[in-house]
Structure formats: structure tokens, C-alpha cells
Amino acid sequence: MKSSCFSRTPSDIFPPGVFELKVSFFRRNETRIKLNSAEAVATYARSIIYPEGTIQYVEQFYVLLLDRQNQLYAYKQISSGGVSATFTDPKLIFQTALLCHATQIILVHNHPSGNIQPSNNDLQMTKRLKEVGELLELPVLDHVIITEESFYSFADEGKM
């Protein structure tokens, strides 16, 4: 005789509108890019994340996922906005990092205007994200703002 728990389906267990989330994750044993400086982050972002002609289009925010040796194994776009701003949800940043088992992260976004100086919102958000990272033991190593010509590193400027 079958036990009743084996004859149940997910729709019997979970009420309507509640779904099970399944995550699978594996890393390939490949040579990875080591990001040891803001310049390396900016160079990588300009060549891979922001294809030619897109830095000046709209503001986009990314999180770079790194291992303990500062080797990049993934990146994820968190938001895409307009020409002067994008809304960045901290929950999405840390959800991505935690689900992917990142041990540290770097934040990257572009300024289509070409002005590399951080806005007040950039400064406040970076401070909050750094604090959350400390609580989660998931350090935010840097926040790099890039333009077509230059970059601004919060870490290099002592703001991390």
C-alpha cells in the first residue's frame, strides 16, 4: 500500500500561486579573468558588458561575481534605465550573489553623459550596499562608474 505522501503532487502541497524554486549551479574549470584593479574592471566592462556604442545609450547597472582570488566567473545585469538614471534594487544584487555562491562582488554602471563623478544617489546606494555586504559576509570590493573615455572607482577614491 502506498503512503499518501508519495501520491501527492506539488499542487496538493503548495496553495495556488506558490511555486517551488529550483536552482542549479556549476562552474566550469576554465581560466578566468582576474580583476585586481578598477582599470581591469573598466577594461573588461567596456569590451564585454557594454558592446561598442552602448555606454552612451542608457544607464545600466551590473554586478560582477567573483571568487576569493578575485577571479570573475559571472556577471548579471541588475537594471537598465534612461539616459540619466537607473533604479537598482539591492535585493536583486545580493540574491544573485548568494544564489551563485559569490564570495565577493564588484558593482559596475555607466554614465551615458560622460561625467564620471558619482551622483548623491550613487554615493548613498554604494554606502548601503557596502553595509549589507558586510552583514552578509559578502564584501563589495568596488563600485566602478564607467564612461566611454574614463572611469571612477569608489575604492580608489577611498569611498568603500
Q: What is the DSSP string of 85-138?
A: -----HHHHHHHHHHTT-SEEEEEEE-TTS--SPPHHHHHHHHHHHHHHHHTT-
82 pLDDT higher than 90: no
Q: pLDDT for 16-39, tens place per residue?
A: 665 555 656 566 666 788 999 999
The reported pLDDT for the residue numbered 2 is 47
Rounded mean pLDDT, 62-89: 89
What is the mean predicted confidence (pLDDT) over 82-110?
91
Nearest CA to 81 among 41, 44, 52, 121? 121
7 vs 114: which has the higher pLDDT: 114
Please tell me the distance from the alpha carbon of residue 61 to that of residue 76, in angstroms, as a whole number. Answer: 9
User: What is the band of 12 on the pLDDT scale with cuts at 50, 70, 90?
Assistant: low
Q: What is the pLDDT of residues 111-128, one digit of tens each?
A: 999 999 999 999 999 999
40 pLDDT higher than 90: yes
